[in-house]
């Protein structure tokens, strides 16, 4: 029996041709395709600058570096995320802490954020960077976070790995209207793919220049940034410490080609979500609630089991679905419960809403190329498993 995955890429003949064209060209990496991809995404999102890198993990790292995060500083994010949203703080030597989630959106709770900021101000432990994660493709309440950022003086880096093509109020996610920087992931299960890849968007030229440097060894070819006049046309300077986080032209061409269909991808995901919303009514599960200010890109469709209404356990339901060939998954194991973070002092019980959510959540298949017949099978099987 084939398994219906929880997510997968949507590759067209045009995408394949775009990749082949790069392989036949002069540039496999550091060619013109990267800037074209960056411009395409920046334009789509309504941001001024974009820097493409080899993963969202790298993007988060250089975004934190550009924000000046270092030893002695503090970064806050949501426990309901992939570990990379927290690890980027650790790469910079910063202390990582978490803000529990809202029980309806599963995004960072604004109420908890404000409470924690009030306490942190009193104790002198305010964060330098806060990373709200647009979980499942639904934007966090960015206007409120932005207001708090101004009041308490932290930088906001949006982890929008799930959310390219989504909207908040009348802005596209990635516009950076309420943040310093926004990060996208182009992993194959995300909305748009480059196989591996990520991007940082910003409206701030100073941050942009830093991101460019950190992506490639701390090297610049911009004479305005050099300490002395160029020795000749070969000259470059290393003016800081960076990495090799570059993306290839092969990947950028795939991403550029994929961007032609981004609205189609999201519209299809929205249609699948609507069908689930309609067909799964009445089952002992909580369907994904949508904040009226948001238009989700629906990277994930997460159901939460109402365990007091069913006899099976969460694990049993999960196993039954896998047994029936449905590649369900669980997003996310609360990051603070990972052994690495437990060693840093976190414990079960620290973020109870995220932990409670973790006991109930199941990600069911959601991707733009999902066949109608497969979605019908998922719906039918869920009804049987939960009967
Ligand atoms: C996928 C993901 C990442 C990491 O993305 P990569 O491109 O695989 O490095 C970071 N944060 C979130 C929320 C993600 O879902």
Distance 195 CA to ligand 1 centre (A): 12
Q: Which among 200, 227, 259 is the end of a domain? A: 259
| 49, burial (CB in 10 Å: exposed 0-12, middle 13-18, buried 19+) | buried
* CATH code where residue 165 lies: 3.40.640.10
Q: Which among 259, 287, 317 is the end of a domain? A: 259
Q: What is the pLDDT of residue 19?
A: 98
Same domain, 139 and 270: no
CB atoms within 10 A of CB 364: 24
- With 90 as the cut, is the pLDDT of residue 1 above it? no
pLDDT in tens, 349-368: 999 999 999 999 999 999 99
Q: What is the pLDDT of residue 123?
A: 98
Which residues span the domain enclosing 364?
262-385
pTM: 0.98
Of ligand 1's listed atoms, the one at least distance from the Cα of 58 is 9
Which residue among 56, 91, 107, 191 has the greatest number of ligand 1 atoms within 8 angstroms of its CB, and so is best to mutate? 56
Same domain, 267 and 364: yes
Distance 327 CA to ligand 1 centre (A): 19
* CATH code where residue 303 lies: 3.90.1150.10
| 206, burial (CB in 10 Å: exposed 0-12, middle 13-18, buried 19+) | exposed
Same domain, 304 and 228: no
Give yes or no for a contact between 379 and 279, defined as CB atoms under 8 angstroms apart. Answer: yes
pLDDT in tens, 212-250: 999 999 999 999 999 999 999 999 999 999 999 999 999
| Crossing angle of the two packed helices 32-45 and 249-259, in degrees rounded to 10 | 30
Q: What is the pLDDT of residue 40?
A: 98
Distance 326 CA to ligand 1 centre (A): 23
Q: Which among 259, 289, 313 is the end of a domain? A: 259
Of all residues in the chain, what percent carry a pLDDT higher than 90? 99
Q: What is the pLDDT of residue 245?
A: 98
152 pLDDT band, cuts 50/70/90, is: very high
What is the β-pairing status of strands 326-327 and 237-238?
A: unpaired
Same domain, 86 and 165: yes
Same domain, 155 and 279: no
Q: What is the pLDDT of residue 246?
A: 98
CA distance 227 to 185: 35
Q: What is the pLDDT of residue 35?
A: 98
Annotated catalytic residue 190: yes
2 pLDDT band, cuts 50/70/90, is: confident
Q: What is the pLDDT of residue 198?
A: 98
Same domain, 82 and 68: yes
Same domain, 213 and 254: yes
Mean pLDDT value of segment 109-138: 98
297 pLDDT band, cuts 50/70/90, is: very high
Count of domains observed in the chain: 2
Under 8 Å CB-to-CB from 128, ≥6 apart: which residues? 67, 68, 69, 73, 74, 75, 94, 154, 155
Same domain, 163 and 296: no
Same domain, 27 and 97: yes
Mean pLDDT value of segment 14-29: 97
Which residue among 7, 52, 173, 185 has the greatest number of ligand 1 atoms within 8 angstroms of its CB, and so is best to mutate? 185
Residue 353 in tokens? 């809403």
338 pLDDT band, cuts 50/70/90, is: very high
Same domain, 191 and 293: no
Same domain, 120 and 205: yes
Mean pLDDT value of segment 55-59: 98
Residue 250: CA atoms inside 13 Å, Cβ hemisphere, count?
6
Helix boundaries (H) for 24-79:
32-45, 56-66
Same domain, 74 and 222: yes
């Amino acid at each position: 029996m084939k398994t219906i995955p929880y997510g997968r890429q949507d590759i067209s003949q045009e995408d394949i041709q775009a990749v082949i064209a790069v392989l036949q060209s002069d540039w496999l990496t550091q060619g013109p395709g990267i800037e074209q991809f960056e411009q395409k995404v920046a334009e789509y999102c309504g941001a001024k600058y974009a820097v493409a890198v080899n993963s969202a993990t790298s993007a988060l790292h250089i975004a934190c570096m550009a924000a000046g995060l270092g030893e002695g500083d503090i970064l806050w994010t949501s426990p309901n995320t992939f570990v990379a949203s927290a690890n980027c703080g650790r790469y910079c030597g910063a202390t990582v802490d978490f803000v529990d989630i809202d029980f309806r959106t599963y995004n960072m709770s604004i109420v908890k954020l404000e409470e924690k900021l009030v306490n942190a101000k009193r104790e002198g432990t305010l964060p330098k960077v806060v990373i709200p994660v647009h979980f499942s493709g639904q934007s966090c309440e960015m206007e409120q976070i932005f207001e708090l950022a101004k009041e308490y003086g932290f930088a906001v880096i949006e982890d929008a790995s799930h959310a390219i093509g989504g909207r908040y109020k009348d802005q596209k996610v990635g516009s950076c209207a309420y943040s310093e920087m926004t990060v996208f992931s182009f992993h194959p299960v995300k909305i748009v793919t480059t196989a591996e890849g990520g991007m940082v968007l910003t409206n701030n030229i100073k941050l942009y220049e830093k991101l460019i440097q950190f992506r490639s060894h701390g090297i610049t070819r911009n004479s305005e940034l050099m300490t002395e006049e160029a020795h000749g046309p070969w000259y470059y300077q290393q003016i800081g410490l960076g990495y090799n986080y570059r993306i290839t032209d092969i990947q950028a061409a795939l991403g550029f080609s994929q961007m032609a269909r981004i609205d189609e991808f999201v519209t299809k995901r929205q249609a699948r979500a609507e069908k689930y919303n309609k067909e799964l009514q009445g089952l002992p599960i909580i369907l994904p609630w949508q904040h009226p200010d948001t238009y989700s890109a629906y990277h994930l469709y997460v159901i939460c089991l109402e365990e007091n209404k069913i006899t099976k356990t969460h694990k049993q339901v999960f196993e039954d679905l896998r047994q029936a060939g449905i590649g369900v998954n669980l997003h996310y194991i609360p990051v603070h419960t990972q052994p690495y973070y437990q060693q840093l002092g976190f414990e079960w019980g620290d973020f109870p809403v995220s932990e409670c959510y973790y006991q109930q959540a199941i990600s069911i298949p959601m991707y733009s190329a999902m066949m109608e017949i497969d979605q019908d099978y998922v719906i039918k099987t869920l009804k049987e498993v939960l009967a």
